[in-house]
Amino acid sequence: MAHPIPTVAALVTGPSGRVLLVETTKWRGLWGVPGGKIEWGESMEDALLREFEEEVGLKLSDLRLVLVQEMILDPAFHKSAHFILLNYLARTADESVRPNEEIVRWAWVEPRMGLSYPLNVYTKRLLETYLEVSGE
């Protein structure tokens, strides 16, 4: 029997004050944030640090869990899946993205301007949460 899969992702702020959004091969033309599955025996934060290093080549700091969401069979995702989405806010000292094969495009954007991107619903909620807690 299949079970929900725990995942981590983060909205990351760079030194310019902009946040990183990415378009991946997994969201059918929608934009989101880097992240992925937690491996067996791996902590949530270690998984987040690993996923960012693998997907965009960035090191993160100031990790803060801010939102837990659930994705159940979302047709916007490239395959049938049930995820528990553990969403963080984080910082990076470097805005030099080194994308892996999953990343189609990326952009560092002013946080409020990010809402004008075609975001997946979970990233939109995360960005709205960021705007609320940051007072922007």
Q: Would you state the torsion angle of the CA atoms of residues 7, 130, 29, 24, taken in this order, to the nearest 10 degrees?
A: -50
What is the distance between the alpha carbons of residues 134 and 136, in angstroms, rounded to a whole number? 5
What pLDDT does 108 receive? 98
What pLDDT does 129 receive? 97
- What is the sign of the dihedral through the CA atoms of 56, 60, 65 and 66? negative
Other beta carbons within 10 angstroms of residue 101's beta carbon come to 8
Block mean pLDDT (10 aa), the chain, length 136: 93 98 96 98 98 98 98 96 98 98 97 98 98 89
What is the distance between the alpha carbons of residues 28 and 46, in angstroms, rounded to a whole number? 28
Nearest to 115 by CA among 12, 19, 9: 19
Helix (H, G, I), strand (E, B) or coil at 14: coil
SS3 content of the chain, % helix, strand, coil (to 5): 25, 35, 40
Tokens of 18: 């902009």
Residue pair 48/106 in contact by the 8 Å Cβ criterion:
no
Query: How many domains is the chain built from?
Result: 1
Domain extent for 45: 5-134
What pLDDT does 86 receive? 98
Name every residue whose Cβ is closer than 8 Å to that of residue 5 and which is 6 or more positions away in sequence: 37, 81, 82, 83, 84
Residue type, 40: W
What pLDDT does 112 receive? 97
**Residue 50: CATH number of its domain:** 3.90.79.10
